[in-house]
Chain A
Amino acid sequence: MSTPASTESMYQEIILDHYRHPHHKGLRDPYDVEVHHVNPTCGDEVTLRVSVADGVVRDVSYDGQGCSISQASTSVMTDLVIGRQVEQALQTSEAFLALMQSRGTLDPDEDVLEDGIAFAGVSRYPARVKCALLGWMAWKDATAQALDTMDESTTTGGAA
């Protein structure tokens, strides 16, 4: 694209790749919790399912519609959380959140965020930060609900 560098830096090849070929897309069974999140300002939507067992993120599946940033970010998120300990995945999510709120001032840690570092440029565009966080927030919400449910069933089980 014959546009200035800022577009090229925001629309990194990594982002475009995830957008065109999203990872782990499609809703799958089994799952513990399903959530539906929307970005009310632009109408982007994601339906996301999580499966958690023994403190590990077994699966994250999703379907949705949205811009390249929201779709690519959700794809990157699944790479970073599936198969990880929930605690570790939550830490990664905090690291991504911090990057997105940094307005371009944070130097991202590739060891932690892997392809997620491509979104460093997006953090300079406040209007797009919500796009980048849509899938992550949905995952966090679903995971919290899944953990709550497990706590309750453990408590109930213990009382019985």
Chain B
Amino acid sequence: MTALLPTVLGAGAGTSYDVQAVRADFPVLGREVGGRPLVYLDNASSSHKPRQVLDAERTFVESHYSNVHRGVHTLSQEATDAYEAARDTVAAFLGAADPHEVVFTKNATEAYNLVAYSFGNARAGSRFALGPGDEVCVTEMEHHSNLVPWQMLCERTGATLRWIPLTDEGRLDLSDLDALVNERTKVLAFVHVSNILGTATPVETLVARARQVGAFVLLDGAQSAPHQVVDVQALGVDFFVATGHKMLAPSGIGVLWGRRELLDAMPPFMGGGSMIELVQMGGSTYAPAPERFEAGTPVISQAVALAAACDYLQEIGLDRITAHEQLLTGRLLEGLRGLDGVRVIGPDSLTSRGSAVSFAIEGVHPHDVGQSLDELGIAVRVGHHCAAPVCRRYGVPATTRASSYLYNTEGEIDALLEGITTVQRFWR
């Protein structure tokens, strides 16, 4: 479908990255805020959507929409085909061996909860069951969505939660890894790229340790899948989670990838229509994955839109997007280094990091920073970024976070840096 091709390809693949051509695909980037051009640097929170994604969703809803996996009429079949084609696309995007390994959820949060509740539903003696003496290990920089469900699971089952601490530089402190991930560890759940610090974690090291002790591994890819090539098989994990709205798709669609052998054996999370095999008044049996975990009418048009977003990202090329973001992140880190009274919270170099950069401005509360920048048309995120323990770890109540994506420009980074000095002058 040529309509889906990003405009940037008009310049020809392999040529230099044409950010203006990318921007032309995103209608919102043309608007003003407070009389100034919008500078959108809140992508780690949520990204904008290109016309190609909006068009794909609109076309589907206007011409092919119906409920899926029910009924025999034409629209029902077309909608089912589109929904399942979306699953194929997402599976290929993540490097999955089999589309049946992709479960559509409403967001990333539901995906973590799905795994945690499924394990919690396992009968005693099952390889998924947890109890007193068992352990779950996370890291100190998890988003609340990959922390609280595990805390709740431990509370329900009597298992113990452990966490890998952070170094002053915002990296994982692996000095006690062998003690923290041990033969009692049932699950190691950790973030691929931190939403607050930008840190990319050493997946290989952690997976290797988990394999030594037989722990299941869940990787939170909410901040990696939108920005870099992901190959779930090469990563060697058991579960991988992503969310649509951070990768150019609408909100309301998330993805859980899991090894088929595991998904087919895990107990269901939610019960309802679509997830069953045989229902009798005395009890039911369950469909295999992914239907087993998609109870009720699923998020249909959002799944179609997510597939269009995957196509869009791949047409541009995830490697080229990563390289563009590294350019912007490097420029931002260098600029922040040159400002007095500004402290980066997280890795200060481009080594193993994503594009989210958190910082603190001495003497100015992040809320005031964010409000003042908004007056300049600059959108950043302020707060604890759903990672409150990280703020506590670095002794700040909150941070200001700028996070760039494929459509941001060097000029926008400069506008932010200039905005920070304006903020400093006002609050001095």
Contacts and interface: CB of A to CB of B under 8 A. Distances in A.
Interface of A: 1-4, 6-7, 10-11, 41-45, 65-69, 125, 128, 131
A128 B367 contact: yes
Contacts of A4: 34-35, 375
A68 B365 CA distance: 7
Given A1-B425, A1-B426, A42-B367, 14 more contacts: A1-B372, A3-B372, A3-B426, A7-B372, A11-B426, A42-B384, A43-B391, A43-B397, A43-B398, A65-B365, A68-B365, A69-B367, A125-B371, A128-B371
Interface in B361-393: 365-368, 371-372, 375-376, 382-384, 388, 391
Contacts of A43: 383-384, 388, 391, 397-398
Interface of B: 34-35, 365-368, 371-372, 375-376, 382-384, 388, 391, 397-398, 422, 425-426
A2 B366 CA distance: 19
A1 to B, nearest CB: 4
A117 B384 CA distance: 30
Rank and list the top 5 A-B pairs by shortest CB-CB distance, nearest first. Answer: A67-B367, A1-B426, A67-B365, A3-B375, A7-B375
Contacts of B366: 42, 67
A125 B34 CA distance: 14
B372 to A, nearest CB: 6
Q: With a 10 A CB-CB cut-off, give which of B382, B398, B425 has the most chain A CB atoms.
A: B398
Contacts of B425: 1
A3 B419 CA distance: 10
29 contacts: A1-B425, A3-B372, A3-B422, A4-B34, A4-B35, A4-B375, A6-B34, A7-B371, A7-B375, A11-B368, A11-B371, A42-B384, A42-B398, A43-B384, A43-B397, A43-B398, A44-B397, A65-B397, A66-B367, A66-B397, A67-B366, A67-B367, A67-B368, A68-B367, A69-B367, A69-B368, A128-B367, A128-B371, A131-B367
A45 B397 contact: yes
B421 to A, nearest CB: 11
B45 to A, nearest CB: 13
B371 A42 contact: no
Contacts of A2: 422
A66 B34 CA distance: 25
Nearest to B367: A67
A5 B403 CA distance: 27
A6 B375 contact: yes
Contacts of A69: 367-368
Nearest to B35: A4
A45 B365 CA distance: 13
Q: With a 10 A CB-CB cut-off, give which of A11, A67, A131 has the most chain B CB atoms.
A: A67
Q: With a 10 A CB-CB cut-off, give which of B367, B372, B375, B398 has the most chain A CB atoms.
A: B367
A42 B383 contact: yes
Contacts of B375: 3-4, 6-7
B368 to A, nearest CB: 5
Contacts of B391: 43
Contacts of B34: 3-4, 6
A41 B34 CA distance: 24
A4 B35 CA distance: 8
A42 B382 contact: yes
A65 B367 CA distance: 12
B371 A10 contact: yes
Contacts of B371: 7, 10-11, 125, 128
Nearest to A64: B397
Contacts of B372: 1, 3, 7
A42 B367 CA distance: 8
